[in-house]
Amino acid sequence: MFRKLRLLYYNNKEKIWVVLGICILIYVIIRIINYSIIKNNQENTNSIQDTVTTRQYTPSTTSPVITDSTISKNTLEEHTNIIEKFMDYGNSDNVEGAYDLLSQDCKDEMFSTIDRFYNNYFKDVFSEKRSYDMETWMEYNGNVTYRIKYLNDIMATGTINDEFIEDYFTVIEENGEKKLNINQFIDKFEMDEKGSVQGLDVSIIGRYTYYDYEQYEFVFTNNSEKPITIDSKNDTETVYIKDNNDIEYTWFGNEIPNEYLTLNPGESRTFRIKFNKLYNPERIDESVNFTDIKVDGENDVVTLKIGV
């Protein structure tokens, strides 16, 4: 049998070596093609990563989406720097550094301790490395609000997806430094506005603005000799704020316990009321209105309008 194989080889030696050479050549070509494909994929990935890195630190425009104004390039650069620093602290797990960039109002309102900041915001947002998009959204009195999209970091995960976490950052000036209001908190404004009707004295002591709602803090005092009910909750539109375009924004009455709304003679109570108003600094509040006040369970209602 081996004799027949040798004879077959010698009779077809040239053909066998030609076929073998062709096979080797095909193998080499396949390896070269595979290497070229892998290299191109790596270059494409790096190109995508470079694009995201460039894109994430540059707001899409110096003109806010909502308000009719223009942000200077210097202001935009300053704001971009503090937001970028916040992101760097987050991605390096530096909770203290990120917390220090928040304004005092934001800390007081949202995160009174660094532990609360970590548990209620930081650990969820920075559960993985993040890149981000920022868009100039609104400007009011020098404070600029940006829409932030936390994206997955391609360099860390190696994958691209459309999932993101959205937030709104407002950059403010505090003691000569740029600070951040985050978690959709826009600002806090102390007030001293008063109104009175039939022994019910009402003071507005503060306004708290968020991206998707607004809160007013009230002090209600019953200086009459009869019980007073601020609102019966029989109608969802009896407490509202009105803006400069005569648009009304009603309260979230379901969030106020019923017992808060009735005051006995001499009783005083402080609490906040939330209103269904999306933040837009060009829609200026002009009054807060209570239109279902009742004294001593009487059927007649009285109205109180307080200018703001």
Structural domain boundaries of the chain?
56-183, 187-307
Pairing label, strands 228-229, 164-174: unpaired
| Nearest CA among 67, 105, 135, 108 for reference residue 279 | 67
Give domain 187-307's CATH superfamily: Conserved domain protein. (2.60.40.1640)
CB-based burial label for 175 (10 Å; 0-12, 13-18, 19+)? exposed
CA max distance for the chain: 127
| Nearest CA among 94, 62, 96, 99 for reference residue 78 | 62
Distance (Å, whole) CA 173 – CA 142:
9
Q: Does 187-307 match 56-183 at the fold level?
A: no
CA 103 to each of CA 109, 174, 182, 236: distance values in angstroms, whole numbers, following the listed order: 10, 7, 9, 35
The CATH code that applies to domain 56-183 is: 3.10.450.100
What pLDDT score was predicted for residue 88?
A: 96
What pLDDT score was predicted for residue 45?
A: 41
Output the tens digit of pLDDT for each of the chain's 308 residues. 545 555 555 566 676 666 666 777 776 676 766 656 555 544 444 443 333 333 344 554 555 555 556 778 888 899 999 999 999 999 999 999 999 999 999 999 999 999 999 999 999 999 999 999 999 888 888 889 999 999 986 554 445 556 789 999 999 999 999 999 999 999 999 999 999 999 999 999 999 999 999 999 999 999 999 999 999 999 999 999 999 999 999 999 999 999 999 999 999 999 999 999 999 988 999 999 999 999 987 778 999 999 99
* CB-based contacts of 308, cutoff 8 Å, min separation 6: 191, 193, 204, 207, 216, 241, 285, 286, 287, 288
CB atoms within 10 A of CB 248: 14
Distance (Å, whole) CA 269 – CA 63:
43
